[in-house]
Amino acid sequence: MIIKSAEFLISNKDIKKCPEPVKPEYAFIGRSNVGKSSLINMITGKKNMAKTSSTPGKTKLINHFIINDEWYLVDLPGLGFAKVSKKERSGIEEIISDYLLSRKNLLNTFILIDSRLKPQNIDIEFINWMGEKRVPFVLVFTKVDKNTKNTLHKNIEYYKKFLLKYWEELPRIFITSSEKKIGRDDILEFIEETNKVFPF
Ligand code: GTP
Ligand code: MG
């Protein structure tokens, strides 16, 4: 897929205020600082479209972008960011789960995982929750430029084994680096294919 246009549309906390669900939609989620906004900018080829920051907790709202006038891309708040207050965190979790469970045009959610880390409870809990609720998702390993090839391979194999403790089948996995522009074509091709099922 060639990206011809990518524009920010709206940020909000209220899923009723999201754009009409008339186009295919893809959400990006993962722990704060995992590289969601950077990945979105890499995929769309727009450097500053989603705001990135080295301080975790930058994205706090549901952010809609429209790509090629054809599909919506959504940047969601970071999961489990410890430094916001408990009250604010449970508010964010409610917004996220409301959104994921009720958005009718949501074709897929990209769950981002830091490729340098062993499976983290918060990611596993979220993956298992998505599985139980049958919300379609794929996994995206981020920041692969920060690993040697060998460690990357080991980490991903370990991750797969870990998930197979809970699930019989593994989701699709993408390997990415926003820094080195790795994984862009794979993700865009996947979106292009998935768009074909819409409207259902
Ligand atoms: P929140 O909005 O706070 O939840 O964070 P986020 O997941 O959107 O992360 P963001 O894209 O803001 O990136 C966090 C930090 O990681 C920034 O300092 C980025 O420059 C860095 N980063 C993101 N992707 C990569 C990557 O592929 N490689 C490297 N080396 N650094 C990256
Ligand atoms: Mg962000």
Ligand 2 centroid, distance to 160 Cα (angstroms): 26
Domains of the chain from N-terminus onward: 6-197 (3.40.50.300)
Q: What are the DSSP calls for 25-39, one per residue?
A: EEEEEEBTTSSHHHH
pLDDT the model gives residue 47:
86
Q: What is the mean pLDDT of the chain?
A: 91
pLDDT score of 196 more than 80: yes
More confident residue, 102 or 95: 102
Instruction: Report in angstroms the alpha-carbon separations of 156 from 54, 137, 174.
Output: 24, 17, 11
Give mean pLDDT, residues 48-66. 76
Q: Around Cβ 31, how many Cβ atoms within 10 Å? A: 21
Quote the pTM value: 0.93
For 113, counting Cβ atoms within 10 Å of its Cβ (0-12 exposed, 13-18 middle, 19+ buried), the class is buried
| Nearest atom (ligand 1) to Cα of 180 | 27
Task: Tell me which residue has its CA closest to atom 13 in ligand 1.
Answer: 35
pLDDT the model gives residue 58:
60
More confident residue, 161 or 86: 161
Does the Cβ of 115 fall within 6 Å of ligand 1? no
Does the Cβ of 184 fall within 6 Å of ligand 1? no
Does the Cβ of 33 fall within 6 Å of ligand 1? yes
pLDDT the model gives residue 79:
82
Ligand 2 centroid, distance to 58 Cα (angstroms): 5
Does the Cβ of 63 fall within 6 Å of ligand 1? no
Does the Cβ of 31 fall within 6 Å of ligand 1? no
> CB of 65 within 8 A of CB of 40?
yes
Residue 117's SS3 state is coil
Question: Which of 47, 122, 178 has most ligand 1 atoms within 8 Å of its beta carbon, as the pocket-test mutant?
Answer: 178
Ligand 2 centroid, distance to 157 Cα (angstroms): 27
pLDDT score of 81 more than 60: no
Give mean pLDDT, residues 117-136. 94
Residues, CB within 5 angstroms of ligand 2 (ion): 36-37, 58-59
More confident residue, 65 or 49: 65
pLDDT score of 165 more than 80: yes
pLDDT tier at 84 (50, 70, 90 boundaries)?
low
The rounded percent of the chain whose pLDDT value lies above 90 is: 77
